């Protein structure tokens, strides 16, 4: 579905009684970054209902959150067609179907509807108005790309073979991760969460550093799920062994190549970034430290 338009093709009563729709925790909702517009191919942007088309090179803000939901949540109602051939694009995300213009249906911004709901509204919620489906139980879709910037001298820590952003290179960004199961496939990477390590600043969950001999991990943005796994343990299995590690940080899949991220690229969406203690516990020879296919689950 398109990114900015929601509503229905007729004026509807839009009562956002979405108590069951997961939103971000109360906060000042700021852009998490920008996506650079690309000129659509001929005939690929439907301008029905005065829909906007992306402008080549223009930066558009992207958000991970929406304002807190209340009994009178303020919002902007826009117009969209959810029927086949309408400016809404493909089928709606909730049911993979089209819906006629004479049916009161809506799409909600990502922060107001992740995961989707289909009740407790006077207009049925069919989809989110963003590119992605974020968090557990959703599929992993690409947000866009971020263009790399060469780090200033001494600003990218290459400990543990960390990558530094290359000037002009495009790096993919994700806001979601594969579905979590009892054996979630992932790639284990190596990180130092202690002060001065390649992990950068203090961890997001507690604003602290953690020594290398403590089994702690950072999860890709979708699995981190806005901090819902903070200080929870996950079980990591590989090499015929298992280890429990505490989630202390996010491996940011949505941003990178800046000072806040030590000028490293955005994290892929299937990463468990682990301290040395985790690698030791799995019995991986030191020469093979770096990347390892694993499975993990909530402990």
Boundaries of every domain in the chain? 1-131, 171-298
What local confidence, expressed as pLDDT, does residue 141 receive? 54
Are the beta carbons of 79 and 104 closer than 8 angstroms? no
Residue in 10, 227, 19 with CA at minimum distance from that of residue 117: 19
20-34, 66-80, 109-123: which has the highest mean pLDDT?
66-80
Residue in 278, 288, 192 with CA at minimum distance from that of residue 241: 278
Residue in 168, 144, 180 with CA at minimum distance from that of residue 60: 144
Taking residue 278's Cβ as centre, other Cβ atoms within 10 Å add up to 25
Which residues touch 70 (CB under 8 Å, ≥6 apart)? Answer: none
Whether pLDDT at 110 is above 90 = no
**pLDDT by residue (tens digit) across 234-254?**
999 999 999 999 999 999 888
Q: Residues of the chain with pLDDT > 70: what percent?
A: 76
Alpha helices in the chain (DSSP H): 221-224, 276-281
Superfamily of domain 171-298: RlpA-like domain (2.40.40.10)
Whether pLDDT at 128 is above 50 = no
**pLDDT by residue (tens digit) across 207-227?**
999 999 999 999 999 999 999
What average pLDDT does the segment 171-194 reach?
A: 91
Among 68-77, 89-98, 245-254, 255-264, the minimum mean pLDDT is found in 89-98
**pLDDT by residue (tens digit) across 28-62?**
567 777 788 888 888 778 787 777 888 888 888 88
pLDDT class for 102, splitting at 50, 70, 90?
Answer: confident
What average pLDDT does the segment 15-23 reach?
A: 34
pTM of the model: 0.54
pLDDT class for 139, splitting at 50, 70, 90?
Answer: very low
Q: Identify the bridge partners of residue 297 per DSSP, sorted by sequence position.
A: 235
Mean pLDDT for the chain overall: 78
What average pLDDT does the segment 137-161 reach?
A: 71
Q: Identify the bridge partners of residue 295 per DSSP, sorted by sequence position.
A: 185, 237
How many alpha carbons lie under 13 Å from residue 248 in its C-beta half-sphere?
Answer: 25
> Mind giving me the DSSP string for 65-99?
--PPP-TT----------STTSTT-SS-TTTS---
Task: Please give the structure tokens belonging to residue 87.
Answer: 């400016």
Which residues touch 267 (CB under 8 Å, ≥6 apart)? Answer: 218, 220, 221, 251, 252, 253, 256, 273
């Amino acid at each position: 579905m398109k990114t900015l338009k929601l509503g229905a093709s007729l004026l509807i009563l839009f009562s956002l009684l979405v108590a069951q729709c997961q939103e971000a925790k109360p906060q000042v909702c700021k852009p998490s970054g920008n996506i650079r517009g690309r000129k659509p191919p001929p005939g690929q942007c439907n301008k029905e209902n005065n829909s906007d088309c992306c402008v080549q090179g223009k930066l558009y803000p992207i958000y991970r959150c929406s304002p807190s939901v209340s009994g009178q949540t303020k919002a902007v109602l826009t117009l969209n067609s959810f029927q086949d051939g309408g400016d809404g694009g493909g089928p709606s995300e909730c049911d993979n179907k089209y819906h006629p213009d004479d049916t009161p249906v809506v799409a909600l911004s990502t922060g107001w509807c992740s995961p989707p709901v289909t009740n407790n509204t006077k207009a049925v919620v069919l989809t989110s108005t963003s590119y992605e489906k974020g968090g557990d139980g959703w599929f992993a879709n690409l947000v866009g790309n971020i263009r790399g910037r060469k780090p200033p001298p001494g600003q990218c820590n290459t400990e543990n073979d960390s990558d530094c952003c290359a000037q002009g290179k495009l790096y993919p960004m994700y806001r979601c991760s594969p579905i979590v199961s009892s054996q979630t496939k992932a790639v284990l990477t190596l990180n130092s969460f202690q002060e001065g390590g390649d992990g950068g600043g203090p961890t997001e969950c507690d604003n602290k550093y953690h020594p290398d001999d403590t089994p702690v991990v950072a999860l890709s943005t979708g699995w981190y799920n806005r901090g819902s796994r903070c200080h929870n343990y996950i079980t990591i299995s590989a090499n015929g062994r298992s280890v429990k590690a505490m989630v202390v940080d996010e491996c940011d899949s949505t941003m990178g190549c800046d000072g806040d991220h030590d000028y490293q690229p955005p994290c892929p969406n299937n990463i468990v970034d682990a301290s040395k203690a985790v690698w030791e516990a799995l019995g991986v020879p030191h020469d093979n430290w770096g990347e390892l296919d694993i499975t993990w689950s909530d402990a």
